[in-house]
Amino acid sequence: MKRAVISDIHGNLAAFEQVLEDIQRRGIEEIYCLGDIIGYGPDPRACIELAKRFPVNLLGNHEEAVLFGAIGFNPKAKIAIDWTREQLSLKSEPQERNRELWTFIGGLAKQHKEGSFLYVHGSPRDPTREYIFKQDYQDRKKMDEIFSSPADMHWQVCFAGHTHYPGIFSQGHPYAFLEPQDMGYEFPYAAKKMRILVNVGSVGQPRDGDWRASYVIVDEECIRFVRLDYDVQRTVLRFKGYPELPDYLAKRLEEGK
C-alpha cells in the first residue's frame, strides 16, 4: 500500500496540479483528500473537478462554511467564502454542472476510518473545525482528550490538516511535536506502539513559513513528508482577475504564512 494524503488545496490550482504531477511521477495511484479543496483561492471549480476522482474526500471547514454559512470566520475569509459560493453557481455555466459541484460538496463525509488509520480535517474530537496547533503538545488535557477520541473507535495513526502546518504529534509522557525537517522528512511509524497524529500540511496555502506545497506519502512502514516548488506567481496573477478577493490572500502565498 502506498497512498498520498493531501489537504487544504484552497482553490490554488497551480499548487494542486504540481502536487498531482509529483504523485503521478512517483507511481502513486491512490489519493485521499482531507478537505478544504475550496476557500481563499481563485479556482474552486477546477480544483473540485480534479478532486472528484479521489476515492476519499472529506468535509473541511471551508466546504462546511460554503454549505451552511461562514460562522466564526474572519472578514477576509468570509469574503472569500461568499465569493466561492457565487462561483459554484455561475449563470454562465450549465446548471447541471453547478448542481454536480454542489452535490459533491454536500456529500462529503466528516471522517474516514480504514484499518488503524483515521482521516479527518480538523481533529479526532471535532473532525471539521478543531485546530491542533504545534504548541498544543504542551496542553496535556487537550491532547489527552484528542488522542482518546472518538471514544468508540480504535486508531493508531490519524491524518489531519486544517492548521496548514505539517508535522507529527506523538502520544507519550510528555507529548511531543516533531517538525518534518527534524525527522529527515520521514517517520517510521509501524514499529511504534503509541498513537500519532500527522498533520499533512497544506497543498495550496502553507503557513509554516515555507511557501512550497506540502503533502505526505504513507506506506506500510513509513510516513514521508514532501515539499514542492510550484508556480506561485501563476496563482497570484489569477487573484488579480478577481478584485473581489482580498489582496492579502494572494500575498500570503509568497510568504508561506
Q: What's the confidence (pLDDT) of residue 55?
A: 98
Question: How many angstroms separate the CA atoms of 45 and 89, rounded?
Answer: 10
> Residue 109: which of 156, 55, 68, 157 has the closest Cα?
55
Residue 138, pLDDT score: 96
**pLDDT less than 50: residues of the chain:** none
| Average pLDDT for the chain | 96
- Bridge partners (DSSP) listed for residue 170: 176, 196
Residue type, 71: I
Query: Sign of the C-alpha dihedral, residues 88, 92, 93, 95?
Result: positive
What cell was used for 175? 507529548
Q: Are 211 and 254 in contact (CB under 8 A)?
A: yes
DSSP string covering 21-71, please? HHHHHTT--EEEE-S--SSSSS-HHHHHHHHTTSSEEB--HHHHHHHH--T
Q: What is the pLDDT of residue 199?
A: 98
CATH 2.60.40.10, applies to 2-255? no
Q: What is the largest CA-CA distance in the chain?
A: 57
Q: Residues 62-85: pLDDT tens digits?
A: 999 999 999 889 999 999 999 999
- Residue 95's contacts (CB-CB under 8 Å, 6 or more residues apart) are none
Helix (H, G, I), strand (E, B) or coil at 67: helix
Q: Give pLDDT tens digits for 200-246.
A: 999 999 999 999 999 999 999 999 999 999 999 999 999 999 999 99
- Domain locations along the chain: 2-255
